[in-house]
Copies of this chain bind each other. A is one copy, B any other.
Amino acid sequence: MSQRLTVTLQPAGRRVEVEAGTNLLEAAQKAGIEMVASCGGIGICATCRVRVVDGKVTPPGATEVEELGREQLEAGFRLACQTVPLGDVRLEIPRESLLGGQQMQVTGRESQVEIDPTVRGVDIRLEPPALDDLRSDTARVNEALIRQGFAPLQAGPGLLEALSLCLRAEGWQARLALRPNGAFSELAAVLPVGAPLLGLAVDMGSTKLALFLVELESGSVLGQAGVMNPQIVFGDDVVSRIAYANKSVENRKLLQTRLVEAINLGAAELCKKEDACLDQIVEIVAVGNTAMHHLFCGLPVEQLGSAPYVPVTDAALVFSAAEVGLAAAAGANVYLPPNIAGYVGADHVAALLATQSYVDGHTTMVVDIGTNTEISLIRQGRVLSCSCASGPAFEGAHIRDGMRAGPGAIERLRIDSEGVRPVTIDGQPAVGICGSGILNAVAEMLGERLLDERGVLNVKDERVRSTNGKAEFLLAPASSTGHGRDIVITRKDVNEIQLAKGAIRAGLDILLAEANISPNDVDDFIIAGAFGTYLDLPSALKVGMFPRLPLERYHQVGNAAGVGARHLLLSRRKREEARQIAAKVEYIELTTSAAFTPRFVEAMYLKE
């Protein structure tokens, strides 16, 4: 019989019994505590930091010595995924290691769209059957529909049952949600007379889900919510999640189930606020990168995990919401716009759709920044697209003191002769630094010559200190922080930013070269995505992440994919446009492009 140990988790105050050999991350997950574990528990991201307050654990390995440093190890800090208890233990989980309380980006620039949804509502009022009128329920309904200009019904038995019961319960009247399909009207829902038809648009980011509850017939957004993507506990980037999914079909289905549950929960809360019910949701649009798209649909992702990275499908999908377990009307469909390639997904198609108003004869660059950054250059009817592995540094991962954009994160700062003046989210004591802060810090350090173009810290400057023989720059001393530890920028942190911005800039340059134009030919430079909204444009220009153009050409549009998803919910014509956009894209695979590597190396330099 194997030994069982007790793990106590603070500040939540939870206790959990685990088998000997279970690591602390698994113990926390078992206790229902959702920790950040960006790399999926393989010990390379240092986001699952915990402090062992009491009890014996396995000694730190090389990874932890590297990621945490002696000072933190001595203070009891450990990586939860690398540490196994040897007896009963008590842990303290720092706030930055917990999910929840994150800053969310769910808005984007709205543009006008003609309301023409796939589902229409019609109120019917019928005469009940009588001895001289023996028509079936559907014959009675069809007569009313045809009189009102609709095609006759098509429905499976579940909906016919609902129809028959509702008509008898509601005095032979009902509101039908109908989806015109050729000679038939597919029945999407049977509702009480007058009930508004709702739609749900979901932007499934790797990190965050943005949900929009929309009144289909008016197009108005009734409510919106940002929730964490629960898949994050299985890995912070899609590559880790693909690796996790490929271990077993159960793993893959678990990623699907967790995601769908989170969407259902978010939708239920949005409905509750509007005094509506989930049965009123008659259409759902979901957008995401290709990996999110496949995991959501329950499609295999093995082929996304290795070259040549082909998706199962690049066509738009329409299927019953029930097939993936989404809570909605019995006849609700889900629509997912087409994917472009293994790493340019349906979310980028939605973003291109939402930003079309900028195009109109202009040359437009659309950069949707995330763990994976999709870039499109639109010029003279051509659409050139590529995808860059920009990594999670802009999300605060793989950075020594990095964190997500939550309370206490340094989001911007100023460095001058007076010292460092950090600004944190919500003005709380600093506990780490988020993506926009890191980019800002690197630009400021460059301006102060604390860094050179190669990203090397200037050890001759007295403000650069050395800890265990490694150069680092102090952003906030322990005395000023929320957790009593120094917050610093290391050489490695700078290098992560160089890799990220270098990848994006190389992608931009290759698209410009492919179109045979110079940066100055770009009329509109659209920066989309949550990080793109908070990004400090001067810093981005200073480190050479983007080419320098007149400032008015840059547009930080927020969640363009979410806006695109709403357009696809409201307008059948937009779906046709999405198809046309996806079909038009000329995809440039950077991993096999001979020009990429030299451009990438060049673009890692910190210069305009």
Measured CB to CB, the residues of A under 8 A from B are: 129-131, 133-139, 142, 152-153, 156-158, 160-161, 163-165, 168, 182, 297-300, 302-303, 307-315, 317, 319-320, 323-324, 339, 341-342, 587, 589, 592
Given A134-B341, A182-B182, A299-B164, does the pair A157, B317 have CB atoms closer than 8 Å? yes
A135 vs B303: C-alpha distance in the bound complex, in angstroms?
A: 12
Contact across chains for B136 and A314 when beta carbons are under 8 A apart: yes
- Judge whether A299 and B136 touch: CB under 8 Å: no
Contact A164–B312 (Cβ < 8 Å):
yes
Cα A317 to Cα B158 in complex, Å, equals: 12
Asked if A297 and B134 sit within 8 Å, CB to CB, the answer is no
6 pairs, A vs B, C-beta closer than 8 Å: A137-B313, A138-B314, A157-B298, A158-B298, A165-B300, A168-B302
Q: Which residues of B contact A157 (CB under 8 A)?
A: 297-299, 317, 319, 323-324
From B168, B302, B310, give the contact of A136 (CB < 8 A): B310
Q: When A131-B592, A161-B300, A300-B164 are in contact, do A311 and B156 touch as well, CB less than 8 Å?
A: no
Report chain B residues within 8 Å CB of A315: 136, 138-139, 142, 152-153
The residues of B that contact A302 with a CB separation of less than 8 Å are 168
Contact (Cβ within 8 A) A134 B313: no
Min CB gap A326→B, angstroms:
12
List residues of chain B with CB within 8 A of the CB of A324: 157
Indicate whether A137 sits within 8 Å of B297 (C-beta atoms), given known contacts A157-B324, A319-B156.
no
| Residues of chain B contacted by A309 (CB below 8 angstroms) | 134
Contact between A308 and B156 (Cβ–Cβ < 8 Å)?
A: no
User: Quick check: B310 and A135 within 8 Å, CB to CB?
Assistant: yes
Question: What is the minimal beta-carbon distance from A83 to any residue of chain B, in angstroms?
Answer: 37
CA gap between A133 and B308 in the complex, in Å: 8
- Cβ 8 A contact of A308, one of B131, B153, B313, B342: B131
- Contact (Cβ within 8 A) B308 A160: no
Whole-angstrom distance between the alpha carbons of A157 and B316 in the complex? Answer: 12
Q: Which residues of B contact A135 (CB under 8 A)?
A: 310, 314
Task: Indicate whether A134 sits within 8 Å of B587 (C-beta atoms), given known contacts A139-B314, A156-B320, A308-B129.
Answer: yes
User: 17 new A-B pairs (CB below 8 Å) besides A136-B310, A157-B299, A168-B303?
Assistant: A130-B308, A133-B308, A134-B310, A136-B314, A136-B315, A137-B303, A138-B312, A138-B315, A156-B319, A157-B297, A157-B298, A157-B319, A157-B324, A160-B299, A161-B298, A164-B312, A182-B182
Instruction: Enumerate the 3 nearest inter-chain pairs by beta-carbon distance, A residue then B residue, closest first.
Output: A157-B297, A156-B319, A138-B313
The answer for the CA separation of A142 and B583 in the assembled complex, in Å, is 15
Is A311 a contact of B136 with CB atoms below 8 Å? yes
CA distance A157 to B160 in the complex (A): 25
Residues of chain B within 8 A of A314, CB atoms compared: 135-136, 138-139
CB of A535 to closest CB in B, whole Å: 31
Contacts of A129 in B (CB 8 A): 303, 308, 310
Chain B, residue nearest A324 (CB): B157
Contacts of A152 in B (CB 8 A): 315
